[in-house]
Amino acid sequence: MTFERRLTRDWDDPSVVAVDGYVAKGGYGGLKKALEMDTGELIDVVKASGLRGRGGAGFPTGMKWSFVPQDTGKPTYVTVNFDESEPGTCNNRELGERDPHRLIEGTAIAARAINCHTAFIYVRGEYLWQGTVMERAVREAYASGYLGKGIAGSAYDLDIVVHRGAGAYICGEETALLNSLEGLRGQPRLRPPFPAVEGLYASPTVINNVETLMNVPDIVFKGAEWFREMGTEKSPGTKMFTVSGKVERPGNYEIPMGTPFRTLLEEYAGGVLAGGTVKAFTPGGSSTPLLTGADLDLALDYESVAAAGSLLGTGAIMVLDQTDCVVEAARRMVEFYAHESCGKCTPCREGSWWATRVLTRLENGYGRQEDMGLMQDMGKNILFRAFCALADGAASVINSSLKHFAEEYEEHVRLGYCPLTGAPADRTPAAAEEVAS
């Protein structure tokens, strides 16, 4: 498939990492244009483009900006969510690393749109190098007049602060991110008030994902119509996908929204590893319900994935092949949520902890017949019951793996060991079968 790459177009050119190289390729043109527009116009362009938040929820970006009241007497803030932590996701990492000034430009335009004079880039703690790249780029932008007093020759002032997280998945949740940024415990806040009204330091705040903001300079520079030339009506533009797992060429790929999964898998990721078959995959990271090999022709856009019973999420596609055990995969994913649960609310803290233990038992061959019903209940009792969406990730794994692979679970119980990874050393398959029958 051929198309004009947008977000990744300069990935082959390391010179854009430096401000001069970026400017030489037309960088900061969007910002200059934005500074000549009034804020209403600016928001309208982004609205018209149909750009939707790439962090997972797909909320229209222009609308988000328009919710920020500008007459409260308080400052407004833009906060960039660079706390990319969803398992299987690493496109923000590469975007920031290879093209940091595009992020700064997008951030500056967003700031201009809501009259913000201090923006924060919250970088995931583990992204040591990417944080350093961002810090260097921000320093360069200051030195070149794209940040600080009177940015890009205008009368508009903007400071950007790069802040590093300390290693908690929950801080990717926007209100927990704000708490963390304020020096509080990384736990989500009650909504309402929503961040647009009362966010960082109780002031109106916009929180955008890295990929979202990196789309903005071109939208402003080239116009909403240009942006809509690719993608679908409701999911315009291109999207970054991170393909990992049992594929020949794992990596980050940019494709137009609505491209079938089969195209991404076969043309970009080189197909399933060693000619295997797709058993299951996550369309948008470990928190999105698993789909199966029957869904290879799924169009990758918000609507189509939702119609198939899952979510586009962060576009992190993890592929399991026929040799992978779904119970073990579910165990590892749920264990991640148990580890990353902030502990604030009961269903998440206790539910993910318990589910991890039951899944471990099942995988190790100590399952009981009633565990099937127990897991089903647990998924139901966690989903949509917790304070924030973190627990829903754990529940999605439980529910979708049970939905598509109930037989595999039952086989674990029946055999007393994992049929894919084999019997534990202390028991022979024959002995276990004897017990099961």
Contact call for residue 340 and another protein (CB under 8 A):
yes
CA-nearest of 121, 118, 192 to 158 is 118
Helix ranges, 169-234 (H): 174-181, 210-222, 224-228
Smaller CB separation from another protein, 345 or 397: 345
CA-nearest of 164, 159, 106 to 132 is 164
Smaller CB separation from another protein, 392 or 408: 392
With 0-12 / 13-18 / 19 or more C-beta atoms within 10 angstroms meaning exposed / middle / buried, residue 293 is middle
User: Which range, of 51-59, 239-247, 265-273, 337-345, touches another protein by CB under 8 A?
Assistant: 337-345
Count of Cβ atoms closer than 10 Å to residue 417 Cβ? 25
Q: Which of 3, 59, 129, 384 binds another protein (CB under 8 A)?
A: 384
DSSP state of 437: -
The secondary structure of 146-174 as a DSSP string is SSBSSGGGSS--BEEEEEE--S-GGGGSH
Contact call for residue 361 and another protein (CB under 8 A):
yes
* Closest separation in Å from C-beta 219 to another protein: 31
Contact call for residue 385 and another protein (CB under 8 A):
yes
Structure tokens belonging to residue 155: 């009368």
Contact call for residue 146 and another protein (CB under 8 A):
no
Q: Which of 158, 168, 210, 334 binds another protein (CB under 8 A)?
A: 168
How many residues of this chain interact with another protein, rule: CB under 8 A?
33
Structure tokens belonging to residue 88: 């299987």
Smaller CB separation from another protein, 87 or 250: 87
Smaller CB separation from another protein, 155 or 190: 190
Q: Which of 61, 130, 179, 341 binds another protein (CB under 8 A)?
A: 341
Smaller CB separation from another protein, 190 or 425: 190
What residues numbered 179-208 form the site for another protein, per CB under 8 A?
185-186, 190
* Closest separation in Å from C-beta 361 to another protein: 8
Distance of CA 57 to the CA centre of its chain: 9
Q: Which of 5, 136, 349, 403 binds another protein (CB under 8 A)?
A: 349
Cβ-contact 180, 168 below 8 angstroms: yes
* Closest separation in Å from C-beta 235 to another protein: 22
**C-alpha distances in Å from residue 80, one per residue of 30, 57, 104:** 18, 15, 10
* Closest separation in Å from C-beta 348 to another protein: 8
Q: Which of 23, 47, 353, 376 binds another protein (CB under 8 A)?
A: 353
* Closest separation in Å from C-beta 353 to another protein: 4
CA–CA gap between residue 265 and residue 274 (Å, rounded): 13
Distance of CA 178 to the CA centre of its chain: 17
CA–CA gap between residue 259 and residue 239 (Å, rounded): 10
Residues lying near another protein in the complex (CB under 8 A):
168, 170, 185-186, 190, 338-347, 349-354, 357-358, 361, 370, 374, 377, 380-381, 384-387
